[in-house]
Structure 1
Amino acid sequence: MNPTTINLPTPLELMIDLSDEQFFDLCQKNRDFKFERTASGVLVIMSPTGGNTGRRSIKIATQLEIWRSQTNLGEAFDSSTGFKLPNGADRSPDASWIESERWESLTSEQREKFIPLCPDFVVELRSASDRLKTLQDKMKEYRDNGAKLGWLIDPKNKQVEIYRPNQEVEIKENPQSLSGENVLPGFVLDLTVIW
């Protein structure tokens, strides 16, 4: 029998009832895909990124990690890290950071699985196939679950949306850099290497 190829939409969204352990196991056994799960239990399956998105993403994560290693104020994470948000959603921002006190309060078992909290800082990088509304909803979800600062970076339009608790979203057109403000003191993201 010849195999049949099925072209599915990306991201693919399915309603599957999985326990936290089953979801973690699914992710571990299928590392070629990126999985997220909404608060209502919808499983979102995303394909790996293209070259430009991967290139941009590593530049963001590298800058964040260099700042983290210089300040030692917390821990930085890449796009493969899963977080179990307080609302029940499982998300993987493109880059994120947690302050030291919150990270140190986790058990070693909690650190090995999806981290059971919302990062203090998150970055989502829009790829060519991402719907802006979907990413905006994720950013609001991070903010509503405790993120103190979030950046939605849209390279195509050279635009950044900044999310802060209890504030309207701030939109910056073609900024050359972004400040970590009081959440990431002294951190400045150079966007000239992203655009």
Structure 2
Amino acid sequence: MAAPTTTPETLNPDHIDKSGDKLQYMTLEEYASLPEQEDGYTYELVRGAVVREPGPSWSHRLLQFKLGRYFHAWIEEAGQGEVGLEGDCILSENPDTVRIPDVAVLLRRRSTDNEPGGWVRGAPDIVVEVLSPSNTPRQMRERMDDYFGAGALRVWIVDPTARTVVIHRPDEASMLFKDGDCLEDPEVLPGFVLDVAELFER
């Protein structure tokens, strides 16, 4: 690893910022042993560096919950799969990357019993990220590259301001859904239909 690791009991705020200029480095095992941080930020491990971003707002969490509920209903009907909110996913090792998608859909159950932190290994089949004001296009492109590189089939980018959902595929094709549209992706979610206007209703 390019930088020395640090004792994982605490995160040094002086060595962590979302710009990536000053970062605290640690291994996957050290990161997994960290106590829960209660400072209102979200932390991820990106190529061995701990990266901090502002925690989600209330409206952001409402969208996560609604999307999780829609996916759960589809999974119940399909009789297989799992959905989780803000679950750590081990995307790569050496360098180590752990991302926390807003919503993660597994089309088949995966065992996490022997994984660090009890986390999912590999990308979820479907990843949903809800945009926050702090997100930049570069950040989102990097996140998508990490997810697709680890095997994701789809990455949804939900934009609450524009009231749109863009479904990205590994081949760089994408589908845009906006107010008034019914979102469908029968190739990976047969029978799943989402009213985009309903998603953004409060």
3-state DSSP of counterpart to 2:33: helix
Q: Residues 96 and 180 of structure 1: is their aligned pair in 2 closer, same or farther, counting only changes over 3 Å? A: farther
1:147-188 per-residue CA deviation (whole Å, 9 max, x = no partner) reads 111211112122322211224333344453322422122222
- Which of 33, 39, 57 is the aligned partner of 1:25? 33
Q: Write the letter of the residue equivalent to 2:56.
A: T
Describe the SS at the equivalent of 1:85: strand
Q: Give, in angstroms, the shift of residue 107 of structure 1.
A: 5.2
User: Percent identity of the aligned residues?
Assistant: 23
Q: 1:86 to 1:22 in 2, by over 3 A?
A: closer
Structure 1 stretch displaced more, 152-161 or 11-20: 11-20
Q: Deviations over 1:87-122 (max 9, x none)?
A: 63211111111122x61xx35223852211111111
Equivalent runs, 1:123-134 vs 2, <5 Å: 123-134=128-139
Matches within 5 A, 1:34-113: 34-38=42-46, 40-79=47-86, 81-86=87-92, 88-100=96-108, 103=110, 106=111, 108-110=113-115, 113=118
Q: Deviations over 1:19-52 (max 9, x none)?
A: 21211122x42155321121x2221112321121
1:143 aligns with 2:153: no
Gaps of 5+ in 2: 1-12
Check whether the contact 1:151–1:162 (CA below 8 A) recurs between aligned residues.
Answer: yes
Amino acid at match of 2:176: I
Give me the TM-score of the superposition, normalised by structure 1: 0.80
Q: Is the 8 A contact 2:130 2:158 kept in 1?
A: yes
CA RMSD of aligned residues (A): 2.8
8 A Cα contact 2:16 2:52, kept in partner: no
Q: Is the 8 A contact 2:16 2:23 kept in 1?
A: no
| Separation of aligned partners in 1, 2:75 and 2:42 | 25
SS at match of 1:186: coil
Cα distance between partner residues in 2 of 1:156 and 1:114: 31
